[in-house]
Amino acid sequence: MTLLDVKDLRVAFDTPRGTVRAVDGISFTVEAGRTLGLVGESGSGKSVTSLAVMGLHRGAAVSGSIKLDGQELTGLGERELGVVRGRRIAMIFQDPLSSLHPFYTVGEQIAEHYRVHFRAGRKAGRARAVEMLAEVGIPEPARRVDEYPHQFSGGMRQRVMIAMALACEPELLIADEPTTALDVTVQAQILDLIARIQQERGLGVVMITHDLGVVARVAHEVLVMYGGRAAEQAPVDRLFAQPAHPYTRGLLDSLPRLDDADDAPLRAIPGSPPSLIAPAPGCSFAPRCARTIAASAEEHARCLAERPALDPLGTGHWAACHLPMVPSSGKAL
Ligand code: SF4
Ligand code: MG
pLDDT digits (tens, 9 = 90+) for 234-244: 999 999 999 99
Nearest-atom index, ligand 1, CA of 300: 2
Q: Which domains are seen in the chain, by residue range?
A: 1-88+170-258+276-281 (3.40.50.300), 100-168 (no CATH)
Q: How confident is the model at residue 105 (pLDDT cuts 50, 70, 90)?
A: very high
Q: How confident is the model at residue 228 (pLDDT cuts 50, 70, 90)?
A: very high
Q: What is the mean pLDDT of residues 195-215?
A: 94
What pLDDT does residue 261 have? 54
pLDDT beyond 70 at 86: yes
What pLDDT does residue 330 have? 39
Helices (H), 167-259: 184-201, 212-218, 236-241, 246-253
Which residue's alpha carbon is nearest to atom 7 within ligand 1? 286
What pLDDT does residue 263 have? 55
With the most atoms of ligand 1 within 8 angstroms of its CB, the residue from 247, 251, 304, 323 to mutate is 323
What pLDDT does residue 320 have? 97
pLDDT beyond 70 at 41: yes
With the most atoms of ligand 1 within 8 angstroms of its CB, the residue from 245, 248, 283 to mutate is 283
With the most atoms of ligand 1 within 8 angstroms of its CB, the residue from 269, 318, 322 to mutate is 322
Q: What ligand has the least distance to the C-alpha of 208? A: 2
pLDDT beyond 50 at 199: yes
Q: What ligand has the least distance to the C-alpha of 329? A: 1
User: Whole-prediction pTM value?
Assistant: 0.92
Q: Which residues line ligand 1 (CB under 6 A)?
A: 245-246, 283, 285-286, 289, 291-292, 303, 308, 321-323
Spatial separation of the C-alpha atoms in residues 245 and 263, rounded to whole Å: 28
pLDDT beyond 70 at 259: no
What pLDDT does residue 257 have? 64
Which residue's alpha carbon is nearest to atom 3 within ligand 1? 321
pLDDT beyond 50 at 20: yes
Residues 6+ apart with CB under 8 A from 267: 253, 254
What pLDDT does residue 97 have? 73
Contact 69, 298 (CB under 8 A): no
Residues 6+ apart with CB under 8 A from 260: none
Nearest-atom index, ligand 1, CA of 292: 8
With the most atoms of ligand 1 within 8 angstroms of its CB, the residue from 269, 292, 302, 306 to mutate is 292
What pLDDT does residue 329 have? 40
What pLDDT does residue 93 have? 85
Identity of residue 35: T
pLDDT in tens, 147-156: 999 999 999 9
Ligand 1 center–CA 50 separation, angstroms: 26
In 3D space, the residue among 239, 267, 96, 248 whose CA is nearest the CA of residue 165 turns out to be 96
**Higher per-residue pLDDT: 186 or 264:** 186
Complex prediction ipTM: 0.95
Query: ∠ at Cα 191 (132, 146), nearest 5°?
Result: 30
**Higher per-residue pLDDT: 162 or 180:** 162
Q: How confident is the model at residue 227 (pLDDT cuts 50, 70, 90)?
A: very high
Q: What is the mean pLDDT of residues 167-173?
A: 94
Q: If DSSP states are collapsed to H, E and C, what string results for 46-76?
A: HHHHHHHHCCCCCCCEEEEEEEECCEECCCC
Ligand 2 center–CA 245 separation, angstroms: 22
Ligand 2 center–CA 98 separation, angstroms: 15
Ligand 2 center–CA 284 separation, angstroms: 20
Contact 52, 23 (CB under 8 A): yes
**Higher per-residue pLDDT: 328 or 91:** 91
Mean pLDDT of the chain, nearest integer: 90
Nearest-atom index, ligand 1, CA of 283: 4
Contact 55, 73 (CB under 8 A): yes
Of these ranges, 112-116, 177-181, 197-201, 265-269, the one predicted with the greatest mean pLDDT is 197-201
Contact 59, 224 (CB under 8 A): no
Ligand 1 center–CA 293 separation, angstroms: 9
Nearest-atom index, ligand 1, CA of 245: 6
Element (H, E) at 18: strand 18-31
What pLDDT does residue 95 have? 76
